[in-house]
């Protein structure tokens, strides 16, 4: 079963989470058939997935296939003013299949088109959480089919578009990577014996003392994940990740009607490592006190001059300013939407052979 979209976001979210890897490799006797199903469907696809293109002697085949599965188990507890708002516990598995056609020099990736192949199910979505063999192969089968057709269609459009350009990139589209094999023991979530719902209630109760606070939320996020990766180059990974966080948000309105807000946040690599409720209450109390001060503070005036960023603010500032500049991602080559949305009419002529 698929629920198209969202998977990329979930993958990115997880990539941002802190992780602890034991690095213990080796086959497991843990009733997890995920990698076996990925291997077998990958082998079938590599051997037999092909499309015959008219006026071409050779059928098109994928030169690279990648399977990713993210097994995500999340508890989320939300409280306000000492009461529980919600408490959920969910486990889902998300699949993302990508295929590339062409070659490492020029392939089907990194091209945006507004009228490309639209599969009826798609190469991403939810799959079964049982770690079983048969259902996953069924899901991977249709996702690989969709990813391959999408790649064939995109590759054709990309080549057509590039042929109209005066100069093409000298940089390869995809780099070869040495295969990596890392199979960690399957890790069962440890939610610890802490009563998270009660902790959320007690932590959020701090805000009752601040009558000027209009709205507040204290959210506990407890996350365990297992990430699987298999590529046609031979990389094979099963890796555990875990993450926990407490996020407290609060807002008020200043006497002049301006809304003001503040937050408290703390993170840990495991739920058990989160601070206890007393420490959270202390942190929230500080944030609430600062919010009350902010609420009473006079409005800031326009200013030009020296500024001192405290450590936490400086880290955030640098992350936002520097990150885009040192990110190695290449902007997509685009047809249609991208060109119309972001380029002036003359830009097309600048890029085109004349």
Partner 1 sequence: MRYPLIKTNRSGLTPIFVGLGMLVGLALPFAPRAQAYPPETQAKPSPLLAALKAELDRSMKTYGTQDPPAYYIGYTVTDTQKVDVQGSNGALLNSSEGRNRWLEVSVRTGSYALDNTHKVGERQMQSDTAVVAVPLDDDPEVLRRAAWLETDKQYRAAEEALIKIKTGKEVKVETAEGKAPDFSKEQPHVSIGPEVSIHVDRTPWEAKVRAYTKAFRESAAIINSIVTFSAQAQNVLQVTSEGEQLQYGLIRYRLELFIQGKAPDGMDIERYSNFDWVDPKDAPDDKAVYASEATLRKEMEGLVKAPLIDPTVGPALLTGRAAAVFFHEVFGHRAEGHRQKDVSEGQTFAKKVGEQILPSFLSIVDDTTMKKLGGEDLLGYYQFDDEGVPAQRVTLVDHGVLKDFEMSRSPLVGFSHSNGHGRRQLGATPVSRQGNLIVQSSKTMSDAQLREKFIQMIKEQGKPYGLLIDDIAGGFTFTGRGQPQAFQVQPLVVYKVFPDGKPDELVRGVDIVGTPLAALTKIVATGDKPEVFNGYCGAESGSVPVAAASPEILISELEVQKKETSTDRPPILPPPAHDTVKTGGQQ
Write out the residues near partner 1 by the rule CB under 8 A.
1-3, 36, 39-51, 78-92, 117-121, 126-130, 132-139, 141-142, 145, 148-149, 201, 214-215
Q: What is the enclosing helix (H) or strand (E) of 38?
A: helix 34-48
Least distance between partner 1 and beta carbon 11 (Å): 18
Picking from 97, 190, 107, 177, the residue whose alpha carbon sits closest to that of residue 145 is 97
Structure-token pair, residue 172: 């390869």
Q: In this complex, which beta carbon is closest to partner 1, that of residue 13 or of residue 142? A: 142
Least distance between partner 1 and beta carbon 83 (Å): 3
Least distance between partner 1 and beta carbon 320 (Å): 30
Please, are residues 328 and 287 in contact by the beta-carbon 8 Å criterion? no
Is 7 buried (19+), middle (13-18) or exposed (0-12) by CB count in 10 A? buried
Is 168 buried (19+), middle (13-18) or exposed (0-12) by CB count in 10 A? exposed
Q: Where are the alpha helices (DSSP H) in 226-342?
A: 277-296, 311-326, 337-342
Least distance between partner 1 and beta carbon 214 (Å): 6
Q: In this complex, which beta carbon is closest to partner 1, that of residue 128 or of residue 275? A: 128
Least distance between partner 1 and beta carbon 151 (Å): 13
Q: In this complex, which beta carbon is closest to partner 1, that of residue 219 or of residue 334? A: 219
- Write out the DSSP string of 136-182: HHHHHHHHHHHHHHHHHHHHHHHHHHHTTBSS---S-SS------EE
Beta-carbon count within 10 A of 12 CB: 9
Least distance between partner 1 and beta carbon 120 (Å): 5
End-to-end CA distance of the chain: 49
Least distance between partner 1 and beta carbon 131 (Å): 8
Q: In this complex, which beta carbon is closest to partner 1, that of residue 71 or of residue 227? A: 71
Q: In this complex, which beta carbon is closest to partner 1, that of residue 118 or of residue 164? A: 118
Q: In this complex, which beta carbon is closest to partner 1, that of residue 119 or of residue 245? A: 119
Is 259 buried (19+), middle (13-18) or exposed (0-12) by CB count in 10 A? exposed
Q: In this complex, which beta carbon is closest to partner 1, that of residue 92 or of residue 235? A: 92
Picking from 349, 36, 79, 354, the residue whose alpha carbon sits closest to that of residue 215 is 79
Q: In this complex, which beta carbon is closest to partner 1, that of residue 3 or of residue 330? A: 3
How many whole angstroms separate alpha carbon 110 and alpha carbon 253?
Answer: 46
Least distance between partner 1 and beta carbon 126 (Å): 6
């Amino acid at each position: 079963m698929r629920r198209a979209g969202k998977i990329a976001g979930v993958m990115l979210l997880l990539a941002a989470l802190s992780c602890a890897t034991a690095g213990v490799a080796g086959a497991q006797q843990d009733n997890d058939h995920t990698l076996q199903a990925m291997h077998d469907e990958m082998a079938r696809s590599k051997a037999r997935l092909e499309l015959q293109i008219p006026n071409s002697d050779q059928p098109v085949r994928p030169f690279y296939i990648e399977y990713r599965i993210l097994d995500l188990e999340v508890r989320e507890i939300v409280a306000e003013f000492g009461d529980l708002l919600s408490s959920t516990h969910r486990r889902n598995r998300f699949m993302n299949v990508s295929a590339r056609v062409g070659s490492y020099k020029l392939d089907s990736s990194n091209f945006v088109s507004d009228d490309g192949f639209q599969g009826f199910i798609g190469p991403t979505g939810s799959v079964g959480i049982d770690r079983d063999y048969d259902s996953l192969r069924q899901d991977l089968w249709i996702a690989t089919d969709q990813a391959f057709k999408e790649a064939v269609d995109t590759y054709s459009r990309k080549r057509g578009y590039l042929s109209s350009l005066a100069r093409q990139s000298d940089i390869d589209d995809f780099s070869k990577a040495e295969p990596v094999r890392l199979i960690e023991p399957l890790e069962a979530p440890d939610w610890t014996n802490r009563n998270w719902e009660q902790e959320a209630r007690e932590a959020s109760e701090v805000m009752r003392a601040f009558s000027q606070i209009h709205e507040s939320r204290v959210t506990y996020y407890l996350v365990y994940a297992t990430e699987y990766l298999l590529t046609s180059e031979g990389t094979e990974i099963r890796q555990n990740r875990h993450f926990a966080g407490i996020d407290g948000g609060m807002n008020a309105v200043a006497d002049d009607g301006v809304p003001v807000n503040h937050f408290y946040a703390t993170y840990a690599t495991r739920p058990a490592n989160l601070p206890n409720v007393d420490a959270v209450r202390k942190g929230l109390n500080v944030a609430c006190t600062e919010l009350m001060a902010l609420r009473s503070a006079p409005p800031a005036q326009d200013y030009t001059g020296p500024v001192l960023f405290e450590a936490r603010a400086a880290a955030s500032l640098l992350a936002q300013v520097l990150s885009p500049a040192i990110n190695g991602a290449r902007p997509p080559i685009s047809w249609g939407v991208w060109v119309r949305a972001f380029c002036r009419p003359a830009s097309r002529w600048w890029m085109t052979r004349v």
